[in-house]
Amino acid sequence: MPGKIKIGFIGAGGIARPHAFAINSLKYYYRDAPEVSLVSVSSASVQSRESFAADFGFSKAVSPRQFFTDNEIDTVYILGPNSVHFDHFSEALKMPSIKRIYIEKPLCSGKDEEFKMTVLSARRPDVTIQAGFQYLFMTAVREAVNVWKSGVLGVPLHFEIKYFHGDYLQKSYRDKRANRLTPSPDGGAMADLGSHAISLAVAFLGNGLKVNEALKAGKFPDVDPYSDLFSLITLSDSETGAAGTLSASRIASGSGDTLSMEFYCTKGCLRFSSQNPDYLEYYLEETGTWTRKNTGSNYPGVTSFPSGHVPAGWLRAMIHAHYIFLTGNKEDVMPDIKHALEVQRIVREFSEIIKAKLP
């Protein structure tokens, strides 16, 4: 177990809040939770960083320039605007005390930055790097990985993965989040939502998935025509011959916020939906039966807070993601830099196809 971990946030916006919650909650869930110190938070906005520091217990609020020269920080969370993730990643790796970097998706903006991230991370194998794909840590998804790896489902044939919500139908919502409506690969539905779905595809099918086709739909006068509100890609796996579709929508009325996946294989199938986050369902041809397994909050070291049967949900998965990141423990599927860059490649290839089709 590491000594006291000294954490700095670069970014003090909406996504930073659940990360702060997760870190501050670790001690309630894990008896071996590491001791942490919230050293510094940085943002371009003085008001944002100072109010964030006061709300969540950070010792100081500083400018980005000051942040990256702080030799006390050994763990950096990159949570700023998508367009500066790569720059912040590069600066964090230069910090002499750096041991860990947690980076939100999308990682970067373009093929050149992907290559540079590969090179930079390879030069620092001593630094733990984890990306923000917390759906991999949902209990039902973790159990689905176990079923998949057991081989009982056979060889994959085809699949469908979707991540839908509808909030961007409202102009007031779009106005508040204009920085997320930039063109892919650092903005749009595929980068924001679809990257989580791609992460699941990579987790189950492995690296090297081929992007065969890409489509986008939906337009509003206030949205850049190169930004995707609904997006769809077709993927294929050369090793197994499996193929399927992956779609992301910000304009799916009535969908709430739903991530779902269905994998059909030679000996059965499995399916999961975040609308029922504590259940995994799978079917076996051999027995002709469906199994609906309640996974609850079945993380290692289950204690009375919470008991193992209680619902887990999105925030609980994020808490476990931070536990794994800060302790150095491992899961069956890790959203490390290789996983994250594979997701980023597919997002970028989607954007290249879309841009080639537009005038």
Find tokens 């620092």 and name the residue. Answer: 124
Segment holding 100, helix H or strand E: strand 100-103
Question: Which pLDDT score, from 0 to 100, does residue 359 have?
Answer: 76
Give the CA radius of gyration of the chain.
20
The answer to whether residue 306 scores a pLDDT higher than 70 is no
Half-sphere exposure of 96 (CA within 13 A, CB side): 4
Question: Which pLDDT score, from 0 to 100, does residue 299 have?
Answer: 82
Mean pLDDT of 74-96: 95
**75: which strand partners?**
7, 100
Mean pLDDT of 242-270: 96
Question: Which pLDDT score, from 0 to 100, does residue 303 have?
Answer: 54
Give one DSSP letter per residue of 254-314, joined into a string. T--EEEEEEEEESSEEEEEETTSTTEEEEEETTTTEEEEEE-TT--SS--SSS-TTS--HH
| CB atoms near residue 1 (< 10 Å) | 9
Per cent of the chain over pLDDT 90 is 83
CA dist 256 and 253 (Å) reads: 8
Question: Which pLDDT score, from 0 to 100, does residue 311 have?
Answer: 62
Taking alpha carbons only, the member of 258, 257, 261, 232 closest to residue 148 is 261
Taking each helix axis from N to C end, the angle separating 195-205 and 139-150, rounded to the nearest 10 degrees, works out to 30
Please name the amino acid found at residue 248.
Answer: A
Give residue-wise pLDDT tens across range 197-228.
999 999 999 999 999 999 999 999 999 988 99
Taking each helix axis from N to C end, the angle separating 16-29 and 313-327, rounded to the nearest 10 degrees, works out to 80
Note the residue count of the chain: 359
Q: Are strands 156-165 and 210-217 parallel, antiparallel or unpaired?
A: unpaired
When pLDDT is cut at 50, 70 and 90, the band that residue 1 belongs to is very low
When pLDDT is cut at 50, 70 and 90, the band that residue 3 belongs to is confident
Please name the amino acid found at residue 278.
Answer: D
The answer to whether residue 273 scores a pLDDT higher than 80 is yes
Give residue-wise pLDDT tens across range 100-150.
999 999 999 889 999 999 999 999 999 999 999 999 999 999 999 999 999
The answer to whether residue 320 scores a pLDDT higher than 70 is yes
Q: What is the pTM of this model?
A: 0.94
Segment holding 157, helix H or strand E: strand 156-165
φ/ψ of residue 52, rounded to 5: -65, -45
Provide the b/e sequence for 17-41 (b: ≥16 CB within 10 Å). Answer: eebbebbebbeebbeebbebbbbbb
Per DSSP, 193 falls in state I
When pLDDT is cut at 50, 70 and 90, the band that residue 305 belongs to is low
